[in-house]
Each structure stands twice: as C-alpha cells, then as structure tokens.
Structure 1
C-alpha cells in the first residue's frame, strides 16, 4: 500500500468543510494494517490481512455539530462528506458546550518518539505468526487434562493517526501491536471447563513466548475442573490480578465527566472525599513508555499530563474533555479521546494503583476462608448507587489454603464501600495500561447453594 500523507488528507477535509459552510471543523485520518493467523489441530485455520484508511470529519455551525466518516478518500467523497456534515449540523440541536479548543490551549511541546509507541522492526511475516500460534497450541495441548485447544492465534497491527482542526492544530503519531492468545478446554461432556491466556505488546521483543502462553492457558483450564458452588454467606473475596482491574474500572467510569455532568454516578458528590484506603493512590500517566494507552496529546489537541486521580485515598479530579469541562465550569484534564465516526469524549489513558507489600499467597493465607476470583461473567452495576453484582468463578480458600474449584456463584456488595476496603497485593503487571494488583475485600456476599 502506497503511503499517503495523512496531514495533507486532514487538511483537504478541513478545506472541504470550510467551502461547504462550516464555521469550524476538525478532522481525523487513520491508516492501518492488520495481520492475524488462527490455527487449529496443528494446521492453519484462517489467515486475514487488511489495509485501509478511515477518515472522519466534525463540523460546527455555531453551537450545532455533526460528524461523518468514510473509508474512501477520493476528492468526490470528501466533498460529499463535508456537504453532508454541514447539512446535518444545520438540523442538529444546539449544544452550548460544543466547540474546538482555543489556540492557547493546544499542545506545543511533545515527543511521540520518546513514548516508544511503534516498533520500527520489520512487520512479521505470516509464517512467523503461524509458528507462534502453533507453538501456543501445542504447549496447551501438552498439559495433562487438556482435551481440546479451542483456538490459538497470533497477530500484528500498525496504525498511523493524524488529527487537524481549523484552530491550527495538526499532529500525528503511529502505533504498533503484536499479540498471541490461546484458549484451552479441559475435561469432557458436562464437566468441560475453558480458560485462556494472552499477551499484547507494542514491541515484538517484549512479547511473552508463545509456549508460555499455551502452557498457562492449559494449566488454567485444568485448574477449573471439578468445580462446585460455594455456600451462600459473607466471606472475604480476593480478586485475582487478571480481574481486579475491573474494580478500578468501575471507579474510573464513575468519575468520567459525562457521568458526572448527567448526575449518573455513585461518586457524583465525592470530590475531595475518601474513595480508597488512605494509603492508596491512583495515578494516571499518559506518557509511560511502551504502553498501549499512552498518548502525546488528547483527541482535541490538548497536552496530556500525569495526574493523581486519587491521592492518599481522596478523589481529586474528574476525567474531562472540553465539552464536559465547560458543562461543569472546570478546565479540561486533557483526556479527550475520539474515533473517526464520533465527537470527542473523556477517557483515561494509563493508570496505576499503589501496590501493597504482601504477595497474593500472603493474602490467601491471611484471608482464612473465602473465594479467590479468577474469572467473572456478566454484571449488574447500578451507576447511581454503586450496587454491585457479578457472576464469578475461582478457587475456594479454606483456613488459608486453596481447597477446590468454585463456579456458578454471585458476588454482591456496594462499590463505594468495597473500594474503601481494598487490600492490594504486590503482583501487578507494570506493562499493562491498568496496573492493578490482586485486591482483597473482606465481608462480601456470595450467593451459591
């Protein structure tokens, strides 16, 4: 695919918007390549490669806005997009908070190379990806008790992104991604259990070995055999590192500017109040190297920066883009994110929760009798009250030791209360965009048998 100047393409979109009658506009162009290989029973099952460019245009006429997108970059299509967007904006309701950034707010100093978001090494050839997938499958199949490998895959992706606006902003960067995944099944008939493992990195050299991924998937599946329901009651629950980040995800959703502006959040009145134990902090760092959610600037061209979302247990900030900041009478936190088909919205980048000093094994020993959650399904979360209910499976802990496998149970509590009682382990994976260790919470309700 011939490389196209995305800067020139976004400039063409803005010119078309002005000619069509837009007062202001912003544009986005994303050129991407993806390659994925799936294997089954030691043979290639599916190979897919795609290349393309997506473009998006947002136009504003006064306080009315509209967004359009396309995957055709011909001049005719761009002119039609601009005309359609302007026509849509004229019919749209007024939004008193819509608008581009003031030029004084735009980022002026950034270094995309310093973030190491792109692996400059050659794109892996399909045979290399197939070999990785086959090694993962073979490793999983070699685990005693595994009866089938449902899937094993390897993939690669690369994106170039450029954004521009009539306020003078124009900048872009590129990303790459390399991934391996494997899903294994253990047991037979009604007693079958399934589990998985995967890894995704920016740099090929950082990727976990395919054999290790397969072994982990197989061992996890076998560990789920012979599961039983726990007795209904109130117990300590230890959320394994693989699922613990979902709890912090609920906190992040509750402080999103859209939820706060609508009053639809259990933390809507919690600014300055304690939301985590007083020795814990939650830090956002959009400039962490080699991390998938890092970004040199936000979706509206504002600078990104580190911030303490929660400091010593107390909530210090919302997550805001320009529109939600205006609605709340505050300043944007530089957290706008967007795609080609929609206007910007607030979203966090990389976050890290303070880790504890105890290992996961220490917490298992200290929790006495309770549940170690290793997987979760479904959810019933009331965003207004924080009432929490999720299906779970994992390992039963009896007198500080793992006793047997558990499934088909429900965990219930209230997030506002749960988050203030978390006890972190020290096992967070620091390469992830959400660095959250295993979390122990005492006194949660389990519904089993």
Structure 2
C-alpha cells in the first residue's frame, strides 16, 4: 500500500467516525494498523477496547501508539486510564510519569497523579501534586461542576495536610519555643506560618525614595527604640491635651486625604475632603506647624525632645490621627523605607482588634492605650474602626533603625541638595 493509499484509508476511517458509522470506522482503522503503525488509528482502537473493558488489548494498542508518537501526552494519559481501570497502579504511575515528562504542567496528569498518590498512601507526593493543581486552578475562570469538586477536594487535602503538619510542629517544638519570648520567635513563627499557608510575606513598596538592602520587617523590634518608654509615660499628658482640643467647637482638624480637583477616582476617594479620617498636624514634611503646636504646647514640647528624623522638606511628620466610627482605611503603602512610623494610641474603643485594629503585612494588632509600636509603612498596611466611638492616636516618624549613622548623615545632605517631592503620603 502506498502512502497515498494509506492516507485515503485514514480519511475514509475518520469520515466514518465523524458520521457516527462506528463499525465501519473501526473496520477501516483496523485495516490501517494492519499495514502501518498509525498512532491516531491505534488510539481510536485502544479507546474502543477500553469501552469493551478489554484492558490487555487496550494497553497493547496504546503502547503501540506511544511507540509511534512518544511525544503525544494524550496517548500516555489513555494508557494511564487503562492501567487505572485494570487496577495496575504501577502501570498507571509509569504512564502518568510519561505524560508529565512531556509537559510538567499537564493538568489532568497532575490530578490523576495526586489521586494515585492518595490511593497508595504517598501523602507528601500527593500534597505536591494537589498544590500544583490548585496553582493551575487560578487560571480556570468557570470550572465545570466535576472540576469544582476536584478543586474542593484538593483544597481540603492541602488544608488537612497542613493542619496535621502544623500540629506536629507545634507539639514537637513546644519545649524550645516555650523558653523564648514572643519577639525572639517572631520571625521563625512567620516562617512557619508562611510555609503552612497561614500568612503571606510582604516586601517593601516605596512610592518615593527606596533605600536598598534594609530588612523588610513589618513591625520593628521595640529594642531599637529605647525612648519609647519615655514617650509612653507622657500618654496621660498628651491624651488630656487632645481631649481638650476635641472638646472645642473648632478643634482644628483637617481631612487627612485632600486630593487635588480632577484626581481620578481611586481607593482614597471615599475619604477625600472628609473628616472620617481627621488630622491635626504638629509637624508636616519637616516643617513645624507653629499654630497647631501652640494649641498643644505640652505635646509639642514632648515631641521636641524625641530623636525624630529631620530631613529638609521631608520629615518629620507628627500628627493626631482621628478615625471616626465606621471608617476603614484601604490597604496602602508609604513613600520611603528610611523611616519608621510610630503609633502611640491615645483613645481606643474597647472592642478588640477585629472591630478596631491595624494590619501590617501578615500581622494584625489591636491598639492599647499608652502602648506604642513602630512599623515600616512601605509594607502594605490598613486600619479600621468599626466601633461606635472615635479612635485617636499620635503618629510620628523617626529613622529606620537599620540605617547607620553615616547613612543618616548622607541622607540629610541629600535632602539639603535635592528638592522634596510633592504628593500625599499615607502614614496611618
């Protein structure tokens, strides 16, 4: 038979198959493989043998098809199906490995391998494959009901495996962790939580000056700021001065978000020119606001004694921040990682962090009156006050503690030379 004759025979077989003339198509495909190892014909006949539950014949036909076209993953998948239905786990694994050797991201090969791993008790391997399935699921916009069931099973398996691993880790490390402070184990705990899928790890996102190679730490270790004790001791004085201001008919607050006319709608639009987030600045972009300092002289004097970052036209910024009931600040990042932002809580609704709280990266904290903390505002953060009472804190910025004295001096000289950039800086 010539190549042309073989081609005409294949065309006739394919036409009969498409027309639904099953017996004729099978007869013609058998005629093809009698004279040539044609992979399509071998595959069609293998699928027919599968339907008749003749595993031996089907496997032989699929192996012949693979020998003729070893780079076709669908042939390996059909051989895997044949082995699975025949109860041949080893054969199924070999076939699935064949498909994955051609395409490591073959979706159904990953699904079938994960299922096989589970049946054989290879739970670590199943976790790897189900995790791969879930990663690929993000690209499937409208999965079928059967595929949705696969994804649900994958999520449940991964969650269960991680919960079991977390329990083993917690139990196995209890004696070691028990002897450490929360601060001493904080980074390790974040590492474990990320490995177990319980939290993300966030990087710096600076809208302005980005100082490289500084640690991207969400909350700075309090030990970097020994003067926080002195600031916290002044909480009653600062709070009393703020409460007196807020009791006035005109406390002098301004909307923190004040975007120029014509600014396109964005995540800050709902707060624009509104006192939902109000501020009274004592310092702003390195300039002391004398009129406001005169209204809060004791607080201003306390601030003057703190080791703030002074850069011409840039820092410090110090202000009372008032978040009204029912207000949420969207996730955002600040301008430069050369700063550390300090929050000193002054008036805090007694509802807990779920109602009135603050998140930096993967860690959420509540505010406690008189307990200050420092964080890197170039890591994504957000604040909310869903209580029935206002929340008030004092916000100020100081140097990032990981900068050396020489680096601070260089930055100060740079600020004297280069004009300060304009623009809104979200600092809460």
TM-score scaled by length of structure 2: 0.20
Greater fraction helix: 2
TM-score scaled by length of structure 1: 0.20
Bigger relative contact order (CA 8 A; separation at least 6): 1
- Give 1 or 2 for the bigger CA radius of gyration: 2
Greater fraction strand: 1
